[in-house]
Structure 1
Amino acid sequence: MVDRHAPASGQHGYRAIADGLRSQIDSGELAPGSKVPGENELMALHGVEQPTARRALEVLKNEGLIIARRGSGTYVREFRPIRRVSPDRLKAAVWGNGRSIWSADLDVRPHVGRTVVTVEAPSSLIADVLGLDEGEQVVTRRRRFLVDDKPVQLATSYYPEKLVQGSAIMAEDTGEGGSYARLKDLGYEPVRFREELRTRMPRESEREELELAQGTPVVLIIRTAYTADDQPVEVNEMTLDSAAYILEYKFTAQG
């Protein structure tokens, strides 16, 4: 807890105040979900003006350590991660048995808050990855996934229209096993995957859709699925709330 008997001192700058609060968060003195001293309390504790106290809190907000709740105060961010395990989640033993690949991450399937399916011209990047000729189109599936009513991921999948036209992949609900099971039904079973990861700060539309707290970056994952003869059949662009995930990868020393 904050030492409420600490002497006030005008010598404390905003960085020193932020460093002290960060140390308390890292040590567990200020536990996840606990309330952080507000501007008035920091002013009294450290003998500083309001702009200094406010700036100290802004530093921690931008680092993603604390979040403000309107009308309630500022709290230490609670981290209850979804453990995304690769490559376990992509094994045919999961989706091939009618299960969602999310079942490798969670006990329950997340709620899909929105699914939009369109047929459109692909970007040059998507067309290149899928090996499409000029003028060929893609079936695009855009989804937003929620866990406990909190958005955690945006996903946009692209499929060559000529492969999936008229199939359940063009429906809002693709059925048991999801789109990979439907690709297998069509004779295009995914057997190899490639994922690229990077992080950045969110675009404004992403921040709104994922309901991100200030200072929270996103993780971008682009996955390409290939058949046994190396035909690309899907590109999936995923945007993850970094505060909601731990990304776990399993490897062997062979192969």
Structure 2
Amino acid sequence: MSAESVRPMTPVDKASDRPAFKQIADDLRRQIDSGARSAGDRIPSETQLMATYVVARMTVRQALAVLKAEGLLVAEHGRGVFVRDRPVVRRVASDRFSRHHREQGQAAFIAEAEGVGAPSVDQLEVGYEKPTSEVRGCLRLAGRERVLARRRRYLLDGQPVELAASYVPAALAKGTAIEERHTGPGGLYARLEESGHVLGEFTEEVTARMPTPEERQRLLLPEGTPVLTVRRIAFDTRGVPVEMTDTIKAAPNYVLEYRFPAK
């Protein structure tokens, strides 16, 4: 059965207190959640939905707008409305920075994406700069100390899912592969440890918010889609902060999993 032949599981109840457009959105959402409509399937045209649910065009448009805002549907100009593909990265916080990943040549995002899709990086920028007051405070830098900043966008199967900006004190980055566009097997953390800064601890702060216009554009987010922000600081075994990263994650693409002992 083609996606466009799928019929609603519950007809619109004209006597219900729930608006018709929300009933239609509920029905289409159920179809997506159940797998009756899969990623990439084309949603029937407005005219077809009007006939299926026996409602006006504006009601159909309101229903589709709800699902677009939820990130379930995406409109492609000249082609129609489709079920959005949402590869999900399960980010296991207690494991993603484990040394065994670095020893196997895997940076954190590569370890996270294993088994989910093909990870890649684009829009990569590397250079020295004056740190903001926030970065300076997190890294405990003196007033004139500079940082090496690494900014990149992460893709999964070609779809943007995360923006990241990492900062390393200039004194630690100078003359190392951290200055290069490609830091080598194991990523930035492997290079820090090779230079004698063995990692001992990480701290993270996670928040949620709506994206800025630039973030929405770079992550190709549908209107109304939130992002997760994660600020991570890496400390060496002496308790000295050696790196800080701010990441902005497309919320529908991530499950954040935390494991810790019940002490």
Q: TM-score, normalised by structure 1?
A: 0.88
Aligned partner of 2:55 in structure 1 is 48
| Deviation for aligned residue 1:45 | 3.1
* In 2, Cα distance between equivalents of 1:222 and 1:130: 12
Give every structure 1 segment of 4 or more consecutive aligned residues whose post-TM-superposition deviation is greater than 6 Å. 7-12
SS at match of 1:236: strand
Decide whether aligned partners of structure 1 residues 8 and 73 sit closer, same or farther in structure 2, where only a CA change above 3 A counts.
Answer: farther
Q: Is the 8 A contact 1:4 1:45 kept in 2?
A: no
SS at match of 1:88: coil
Matched, 1:186 2:189: no
Aligned partner of 1:70 in structure 2 is 77
Matched, 1:2 2:11: no
Give the aligned CA root-mean-square deviation in angstroms.
2.6
What aligned pairs does 1:151-166 form with structure 2 within 5 A after superposition? 151-166=160-175
Give the counterpart of 2:135 among 122, 126, 129.
126
What aligned pairs does 1:1-255 form with structure 2 within 5 A after superposition? 1-3=6-8, 13-107=20-114, 110-254=119-263
Per-residue CA shift, 1:181-200, capped at 9, x if unaligned? 11112222222001111122
| Deviation for aligned residue 1:223 | 0.7
Decide whether aligned partners of structure 1 residues 127 and 3 sit closer, same or farther in structure 2, where only a CA change above 3 A counts.
Answer: closer
| Deviation for aligned residue 1:129 | 0.7
Per-residue CA shift, 1:175-231, capped at 9, x if unaligned? 122111111122222220011111222212112212223332221111100011111
* In 2, Cα distance between equivalents of 1:39 and 1:10: 23
Decide whether aligned partners of structure 1 residues 134 and 8 sit closer, same or farther in structure 2, where only a CA change above 3 A counts.
Answer: closer
**% identity of equivalent residues:** 39
* In 1, Cα distance between equivalents of 2:10 and 2:243: 61
| Deviation for aligned residue 1:75 | 2.5
Q: TM-score, normalised by structure 2?
A: 0.85
SS at match of 1:191: strand
Decide whether aligned partners of structure 1 residues 140 and 5 sit closer, same or farther in structure 2, where only a CA change above 3 A counts.
Answer: closer
SS at match of 1:44: helix
Comparing 161-170 with 76-85, which one deviates more in the overlay? Answer: 76-85
Corresponding pairs, count: 254
Structure 1 runs not aligned, ≥5 long: none
* In 1, Cα distance between equivalents of 2:11 and 2:204: 51
Q: Is the 8 A contact 2:9 2:27 kept in 1?
A: no
Q: Is the 8 A contact 1:10 1:48 kept in 2?
A: no
Q: Is the 8 A contact 1:154 1:238 kept in 2?
A: yes
- Matched letter for residue 81 of structure 1: V
| Deviation for aligned residue 1:103 | 4.0
Comparing 84-93 with 239-248, which one deviates more in the overlay? Answer: 239-248
Per-residue CA shift, 1:5-59, capped at 9, x if unaligned? 9689699632333233334334444444433333212322344332222111101
- Matched letter for residue 7 of structure 2: V
Decide whether aligned partners of structure 1 residues 227 and 43 sit closer, same or farther in structure 2, where only a CA change above 3 A counts.
Answer: same
SS at match of 1:89: coil
| Deviation for aligned residue 1:126 | 0.9
* In 2, Cα distance between equivalents of 1:124 and 1:221: 18
Decide whether aligned partners of structure 1 residues 164 and 109 sit closer, same or farther in structure 2, where only a CA change above 3 A counts.
Answer: farther
